[in-house]
Chains A and B, each alone.
Chain A
Amino acid sequence: MSDLSILLLDTEPRTHNRYLVLAIADALRRHPAVRRVHVAGHADALITFAEQGFDTLVAFGGARAHAHVVGRLAGLARTSVLWTTEDPYELEANVRGAKTFDLVFTNDRASVPAYGGRARHLPLAASSIFHDLAVLDDDTRYRYDLLFIGTAWPNRVATLNALSARLPRDVKFKLALPWNEHIGQPALEDETLVTDWRCGNRDFALLANRSRVVLTLPRSFSSARADQATGSTPPPRLFETALAGGYQVVVSPEPETAEYYAPGSEIALCSDEAAAIEAIEAALTSPERRIERARAAQARTQAEHLYDHRVATILDAVVEDRRTQTLRPLHGTTPVRTVLMLTHNRMGYRPGGGVEVYQELLTELGEPYRILFLFPVVDDGCWSLRLEGPGIAESYACGAVTPPLSTDPFVEGLFQRILFEHQIDLVHIHHLMHVPLSLPLIARACGVPTVYHLHDHFLICERWLLLDHAGRFCDVVNRGADQCDACLVAANNYPPGSKARRDGMMTLVTEAIDAFVTSTPKTARYLQRFFPGLPAERLCEIAMVAPSAPVPSVGSGLKRKRDTDRLTVAILGNFAAHKGGLQAINLIRSCEAYPIHFKVIGRIEDQYRDLIATFRPDQVSVTGSYEQHAIGGLMAGCDVSLHLSTWPETFVIALTEAWQAGLVPIVTDIGALAERVQDGVDGYKVSPDDPGSVRNRLIGLHYDRARLARMQAAIAQKSFPSVDDHLETVRALYDRLIAARPVRHNRIPSHLRNGFDLRLESLGFRTNAPSWTSAAIQWDEAAHPAATPLAAVASTHVRPMPDLPDAFRRLPLRPIRRSECGWSLDVMRADDRLNRSLDLSPVAQGSIFLRGWLHISGPAPKALYLRLTGRCGTSWVTLQSDLRPDVAKWYGEPAAATSGFTGQIEVAGMAFGHYALALIQVADHQLRVLDDIASVFIAPDTEALARFVPEPRKILNGPLQNITLRHSLPEDMDATTISPGQLWAAEVEFSDASPRLPKELFAVLRSSAGEAWRAPVLRIDKRTVRIVASIPNIDPSTCTVLLAEPHSRNLRILATLFQTRIAAPS
């Protein structure tokens, strides 16, 4: 009989004793009732169990850690087994969690009653793969007289001191006494002994085998609760030592020890130190008898105490359970199936495009599907996750906006909670922008199938349109990644190595996704060429659908009013750079001599508005933004459509809409456009950035109306999937994935409201730093426990000083060149907001936080300071040193570990304005200065952030005043673009000649489209006002920033501060 398929899980992802699981797996594999065994990790346990048809779960460890995942796993198993290892110390949690399991075994006999009859006793054991060593017959071959390896509990150290004092001086001890800060370093009286070392379990067995006596001392937890019983069953070391051939002297043995080994003939059990000394001396002076007992203990172990024996006990119980078990009903299959749309935005929040429209279409999937949306919302430098769905509208604060993240333990735990609490059956990812890339891995660990919709190329590159820093298409799959670092440095200011770090993380992410939905075959093939490991069966082609049904009067070819004297060309969709905006402008210019009219249907990006306005009305007409349902009507009378995207689009709904309206499209020969159009049959293809070819095609169609008609006739024959067809295909995909891996929702223990603590690290993965844009490599000791949002790292505030301390003030300054040092400013936060753009100074109202390192070869620095140089003088701040073993490692110089610094600077009382920051190291009797590491705009003593609100009043010119302006944006505003959400601080000082400041005064932002927003200013004195505000969410445009006062029912301008461009929200 060998029919059991067993999945074995160590319930503790982080453990010092993983070898126990390896030993049990080895024993399971040798048992005749077992067909196959898989040792799973938390990343793959649920998915492996479901997909590979396992029937039995053995959860080894306890029921406390990751109880939700383990409970869900138990729900999948025909027989679920829990074997605890930490009773009685974790008895309470284990008893609670044990209810999820069919069979429970506890490592501690005294704990059995606590389980109310549900648990059996099963001690740990020894392993034939790690511990089985021949007993040495020759006493001279033993290397040590006395071996003890164990934590340095004070009682143990005291016993070892007593033994050392009373045993003969030539007894050779071998001791390892690992300690921690709670129990302190062991104070051994024999100072020649070296005890600060550790070894693996196999080495322990080898050492036991070569030791005449292996000592076992009781452990006493100084932190144990008084009412907590100590265990009655000995730990596995007892069995391991015996199998390794070590002769054991056990002091204060657990009550059961004598049941496993016969005192006297197999083992020495001693009630106190005196008895132990006697036993040790006897063992050393009578080697034959000792070796005989060691051999007897080993034989007993081989006969009774191997994992093979324990496994046999478990499997007997499993078989019995199977025999008596009635067929278990399928738990948790509920009539409702909940799909979580994980996306970057939802309609009604930030301006969007086709993705936002499409997502909403999926809410029409109908029963049994319930659709929820989870997406990031950024506001005022902080972000939150927003969960929306029928009857659900919740926001979860996630802290300050950070650079793009690979992992964020807080968000990962939150995501797990949402998956469980909202009983998610499937996650459909439309975008991973603005959320940690790890979320698909968390979904997989929770057993939830995931679909990723390829709306663009985000999985391949952070520049998801595959347009490089210069706006050109980057064919990264074919040309390789050599250019990637340079591009990301130039375009995003990410340090070298960022692309490889991101790709490494994305390799894990793509492996975790069950299906990639592509609208066209080539988009998926491109992805697959970038990630060659992706199996073809995970790629699923579902043609995108136009959300609005075609207008029958247009699509059916009924009579339309078309002007035969001119060719009308529709430019569909957003008029933007990546949609070929510049090419379209040049095309229109080059066609001015011909009767060709261009109709711009869609939103025009700000940079093109003025240019388009220069064309004659007979050349160009503009409809502007439109509602989706109106598109058919807007295309009426058009002959041709243009789709001149410069990036490899993944579908282009507008192309479908153009065809449905009977238009002949001219498309760029790239991406899905090239795939979908048959050149010369149902459209034309032209090279990207080739307006001349487009012009030739347009002139050709204008003069050859017969050809135009032939092509239109061919297009009329085309058929397109309907919305219903599309939804049916999506539904079939969901059905298939959920059927392959149904999530058992109602097997989760109801008492577990908390404990959602899956992390990327719990899954067995690790990254050098939370963000792939960081070049830092966090070492074990340097990592912070990050159960809270990353922003919430506390630190002591320090205040700036007017000068350096006396001891350093007169030291000579030595400027440090970039070439003679290594440095990095890893983190810079102003008021807990991370500074993401090094081009712009962050604005700090309360504090600045810095963390980084500066390494210069030579003597280690005695002290480190930050110098802040502003308009009104220089201040100095003491920085704390920050141990940076990562820097030390890569420099190969331990001294470089002292290069780290950190500091939280309180800015209250400092002068308002810009400050240049420099690092000062005191070393070698000089001040080593690294200038211009960053700049900051300090706006202390201002009130809370002002808010810009829409201003409906007219803004009139008024009596302009002379002012002096100081503000946080660069002086060269022409070269600068600012984004919504960005902080702006300004101080305006009116000249003495100006009249008194009015009672009410506003800062006003006025866009080129005539819209306006106002915010109150703070009056500092009778001539000075200040404002600190975040830029409101304005459509991209050119804005003028003004100061204005109420005047009658309008506002009147008192001063024009500057003009700037507002970019799309970042």
Chain B
Amino acid sequence: MNFVSAISLAGPHVLVTSTFPDTLNRNPGIRSDLAEGFAELLGVERVIQSPLELAVSVIRASRPDVVVAVGSLVPDLSDLRELRRAADAVGAVLIFWLTDDPYEFDYAFKADLYADIVVSNDSWAAQHYRHPDIHHLPLAAAPNRHFRPICPVAERETVMFFCGVAYPNRIALMRRIDDFLSRHVVEILGAGWPDTLRCAVNRRLTPAQMADYAAAARLTLNIGRDLDVANRRLSLPQATPGPRTFEVALSGSTQAFFVTGLEICEHFEPDTEILLVDGAGDIARAIERSLDEPEAIETIARRAQARALREHTYRHRAARLLDFSRLTVPA
């Protein structure tokens, strides 16, 4: 385990990589976003990003002070041992920012083996790590990918937008509001939706399209995931809102956030920055309000976007990661 002894006054050199190979990585965008967040803080010349496959050679060549590996600990084929050895060889601090808690918590033991500092995306999961240097840090949004100028809500044709994988909890909720949504212009997209849902269409979107769709919708529905990959030991429920919460805020859409916990209130102020919903009735009321009071909904979207820009971009997360490594740089 290493801690940086001497960092130049200009700040540390950072390598951002992944905890698993890009052949399995369906969301390498987080790595790029975080690298850009670090670059905003430290300058592009101090930040490198690399897939895990190349990380060892990049570490040897560039000798960073901090290595941040982002992602999942599930795949056993990830050669984290070599990553650790490479970090040791150059005296770099190795941080794992784990982005799939609590759904993959059974593999948390790997963090104990290899990381100097462990950062979990989920606050409740973070409580359960045994690592002595464990922190909580939610995911975030990237202005260059997720920001969209806010257009008048009154002019938005789509009343409600949602895009995601049809996890059972999402299907159950959609079934309850299917009739209602089918009477409005909605975009319920994603993959795995059953044919019996009238409101939903199986169509995948790129991240850029997601931002565009959100920006064009009066409301974006936010329903968390409830599908475990490897969470049978402690069956930890999720506590921290997922990254979509921050991304949609940056895209300028007001969110109807289904409540399974109240940590959301730490990130966005209920009613003024986000709408909290608890059932079909709340969603119906939110839609009606978006039609009746578009200015109020637009105000919420503007406040949420401002809050996200102020607190929830990867630049802010990068600053926290440096705090955790005792290399604080003002965000």
Contact = CB atoms under 8 A, between A and B. Distances in A.
B74 interface: yes
Contact of A768 (B76, B233, B235, B239): B76
Nearest to A499: B79
5 contacts: A197-B260, A202-B127, A497-B76, A768-B74, A768-B75
Contact of A501 (B77, B176, B227): B77
Interface in A1-19: 13-16, 18-19
A766 interface: yes
Contacts of B232: 14, 780, 783
Given A772-B76, A895-B192, A194 B176 contact: yes
Given A503-B79, A507-B81, A777-B75, A199 B239 contact: yes
Interface string B55-82: 0100000000000000000111111111
Contacts of B130: 39, 41
A394 interface: no
Given A501-B76, A767-B76, A207 B261 contact: yes
Contacts of B78: 500
A207 B276 CA distance: 13
A890 interface: yes
Interface string B1-43: 0000000000000000000000010100000000000000000
A927 B316 CA distance: 53
Interface string B96-138: 0000000000110110010000000001100110100000000
A780 B230 contact: yes
Interface of B: 24, 26, 56, 74-82, 85, 88, 106-107, 109-110, 113, 123-124, 127-128, 130, 165-166, 168-169, 172-173, 176, 191-192, 226-239, 258-263, 270, 276, 278-281
A143 B230 CA distance: 33
B261 A206 contact: yes
A890 B172 CA distance: 25
Contacts of A22: 127-128
Interface of A: 13-16, 18-19, 22, 39, 41, 143-144, 172, 174, 176, 191-194, 196-203, 206-207, 210, 480-481, 496-498, 500-501, 503-505, 507-508, 511, 532, 761, 764-768, 772, 775, 777, 779-781, 783, 885, 889-890, 892-895
B101 to A, nearest CB: 11
A777 B74 contact: yes
B75 A198 contact: no
A434 B123 CA distance: 42
A507 B113 contact: yes
A694 B136 CA distance: 63
Nearest to B108: A764
B202 to A, nearest CB: 8
Contact of B79 (A18, A481, A765): A481
A991 B39 CA distance: 82
Contact of B165 (A772, A890, A894): A894
Nearest to B266: A206
Q: Which residue among B24, B110, B233, B263 has the maximum number of chain A CB atoms within 10 Å of its CB?
A: B233
Contact of B229 (A201, A532, A780, A893): A780
Contact of A500 (B77, B106, B124): B77
B237 A203 contact: yes
A507 B84 CA distance: 12
A496 B78 CA distance: 11
B113 A200 contact: no
A191 B74 contact: no
B176 A191 contact: yes
Given A194-B279, A203-B124, A894-B192, A504 B169 contact: no
Contact of A200 (B26, B172, B231, B236): B236
A200 B124 contact: yes
B256 to A, nearest CB: 12
A198 B261 CA distance: 9
Nearest to A501: B76
B76 A192 contact: no
Given A532-B88, A777-B75, A894 B239 contact: no
Given A13-B233, A15-B234, A200-B239, A194 B261 contact: no
Nearest to B228: A780
Given A500-B78, A775-B77, A779-B230, A196 B110 contact: no
A779 B230 CA distance: 6
Contacts of A144: 278
A197 B169 contact: yes
Contacts of B192: 894-895
A765 B109 contact: yes
Contact of A192 (B166, B191, B236, B281): B281
Nearest to A768: B76
Given A780-B232, A889-B229, A202 B239 contact: yes
A206 B262 contact: yes
Nearest to A766: B106
A198 B234 CA distance: 13
A18 B234 contact: yes
Nearest to B233: A14
B128 A202 contact: no
B49 to A, nearest CB: 21
Nearest to A495: B77
B194 to A, nearest CB: 11
Q: Which residue among A191, A201, A768, A894 has the maximum number of chain B CB atoms within 10 Å of its CB?
A: A894
A194 B107 contact: no
Given A203-B260, A504-B76, 20 more contacts: A143-B270, A143-B276, A172-B278, A176-B260, A192-B281, A194-B258, A194-B278, A200-B237, A206-B261, A498-B77, A500-B76, A500-B78, A501-B76, A503-B79, A761-B233, A766-B107, A766-B109, A775-B77, A780-B230, A890-B26
A893 B191 contact: yes
B211 to A, nearest CB: 18
B216 to A, nearest CB: 24
Contacts of A199: 237, 239, 260-261
Given A199-B237, A779-B229, A889-B229, A194 B124 contact: no
B257 to A, nearest CB: 12
Contacts of A766: 106-107, 109, 230, 233
Contacts of A500: 76-79, 81-82
Contacts of B227: 885
Contacts of A41: 130
Given A22-B128, A480-B82, A481-B82, A194 B280 contact: yes
**Closest CB pairs A-B (n = 6):** A497-B77, A203-B261, A894-B192, A200-B124, A892-B26, A192-B280
A292 B262 CA distance: 24
Nearest to B86: A480
A764 B230 contact: no
Given A210-B262, A497-B76, A780-B228, A194 B239 contact: no
Nearest to A505: B76
A764 B176 contact: no
B128 A18 contact: yes
A501 B79 CA distance: 8
Contacts of B234: 14-16, 18
A836 B109 CA distance: 31
